Amino acid sequence: MSFRVAMPGAPAVTMVTITLDGEKVEARRGEPVAAALVGGGHLALARSPKFHRPRGPSCVRGACDGCLARVDGVPNVMTCLVPCDEGTEVVSQNTLGSREVDFLRVTDWFFPQGMNHHELFAGVPGVQQVMQAFARRVAGLGRLPKSAAPARAAQRRELDVLVVGAGPSGMAVALAASARGRSVEVVDEGLAVGGGALALANDERAPFRALLAAFDAAVAANTIRLRLRTPATGIFGADVLVAGPEGAEVLSARATVLATGAHDGVLAFEGNDVPGVMSARAGGFFLGHGALVGKRIVVVVPDGGGPFGEAFARAVTAAKLPCELTLVRGEPVRVGGASRVKSVVVRDAAAASGERTLKADALLVDAERAPAYELAEQVGAKLVHAPRGFVVATDDGALAPRFWGAGELVGTPFDAEALRREAEALAARL
Looking at residues 60 to 79 of the shown chain, list those that interact with ligand FES (rule: CB under 6 A): 60, 62-64, 66-67, 78
Work out how close the CB of 61 gets to ligand FES at its nearest, in angstroms, rounded to a whole number: 7
Written as one string, the DSSP assignment of 192-260 is SS-GGGGGS-GGGGHHHHHHHHHHHHHHHTTSEEEE-S--EEEEETTEEEEEETTEEEEEEEEEEEE--
* Amino acid symbol at 263: H
Binds ligand FES by CB under 6 A, chosen from 39, 40, 54, 57: 57
Asked whether the beta carbons of 195 and 261 are under 8 A apart, the reply is: yes
* Helices and strands, number each (H, E), in the chain: 9, 27
* Residue nearer to ligand FES on the CB measure, 56 or 170: 56
If binding is defined by CB under 6 A, does position 2 make contact with ligand FES?
Answer: no
* Residue nearer to ligand FES on the CB measure, 43 or 345: 43
* Residue nearer to ligand FES on the CB measure, 63 or 250: 63
Binds ligand FES by CB under 6 A, chosen from 7, 16, 40, 58: 58
Helix (H, G, I), strand (E, B) or coil at 157: strand
Cα-based angle 403, 408, 410 (whole degrees, multiple of 5): 45
Count the alpha carbons within 13 Å of 71 in the hemisphere toward its beta carbon.
22
Looking at residues 9 to 28 of the shown chain, list those that interact with ligand FES (rule: CB under 6 A): none
Work out how close the CB of 280 gets to ligand FES at its nearest, in angstroms, rounded to a whole number: 14
In sequence order, the 6+-apart residues with CB closer than 8 A to the CB of 209 are none
* Residue nearer to ligand FES on the CB measure, 34 or 43: 34
Torsion of CA 215, 216, 220, 222, to 10 degrees: 20
Give the integer Cα–Cα distance in Å for 201 and 256: 31
Give the integer Cα–Cα distance in Å for 283 and 310: 11
* Residue nearer to ligand FES on the CB measure, 58 or 178: 58
If binding is defined by CB under 6 A, does position 35 make contact with ligand FES?
Answer: no
Cβ density class 23-54: b for 16+ within 10 Å, e for less:
eebebbeebbbbbbbbbbebbbbbbbbbbbbb
Q: Using CB under 6 A, which of the segments 54-62, 309-317, 354-362, 366-374 binds ligand FES?
A: 54-62
Start-to-end CA span in the chain (Å) = 49
Work out how close the CB of 166 gets to ligand FES at its nearest, in angstroms, rounded to a whole number: 17
* Residue nearer to ligand FES on the CB measure, 34 or 409: 34
Work out how close the CB of 87 gets to ligand FES at its nearest, in angstroms, rounded to a whole number: 21
Work out how close the CB of 424 gets to ligand FES at its nearest, in angstroms, rounded to a whole number: 33
If binding is defined by CB under 6 A, does position 346 make contact with ligand FES?
Answer: no
Work out how close the CB of 324 gets to ligand FES at its nearest, in angstroms, rounded to a whole number: 24
Work out how close the CB of 282 gets to ligand FES at its nearest, in angstroms, rounded to a whole number: 7
Q: Using CB under 6 A, which of the segments 22-30, 52-60, 97-105, 352-360 binds ligand FES?
A: 52-60
* Residue nearer to ligand FES on the CB measure, 34 or 335: 34
Binds ligand FES by CB under 6 A, chosen from 20, 46, 71, 80: 80
* Residue nearer to ligand FES on the CB measure, 59 or 370: 59
If binding is defined by CB under 6 A, does position 84 make contact with ligand FES?
Answer: no
Long-range pairs of 215-218 with CB within 8 A, sequence gap ≥ 24: 215/166, 215/171, 215/174, 215/175, 218/174, 218/175, 218/178
If binding is defined by CB under 6 A, does position 275 make contact with ligand FES?
Answer: no
Work out how close the CB of 58 gets to ligand FES at its nearest, in angstroms, rounded to a whole number: 6
Asked whether the beta carbons of 4 and 38 are under 8 A apart, the reply is: no
Q: How many angstroms from the chain centroid is the CA of residue 302?
A: 20
* Residue nearer to ligand FES on the CB measure, 363 or 423: 363
* Residue nearer to ligand FES on the CB measure, 68 or 224: 68
Q: How many residues bind ligand FES (CB under 6 A)?
A: 12
Residue 397: name the closest of 194, 259, 196, 215 by CA: 259
Residues near ligand FES (CB under 6 A): 34, 57-60, 62-64, 66-67, 78, 80
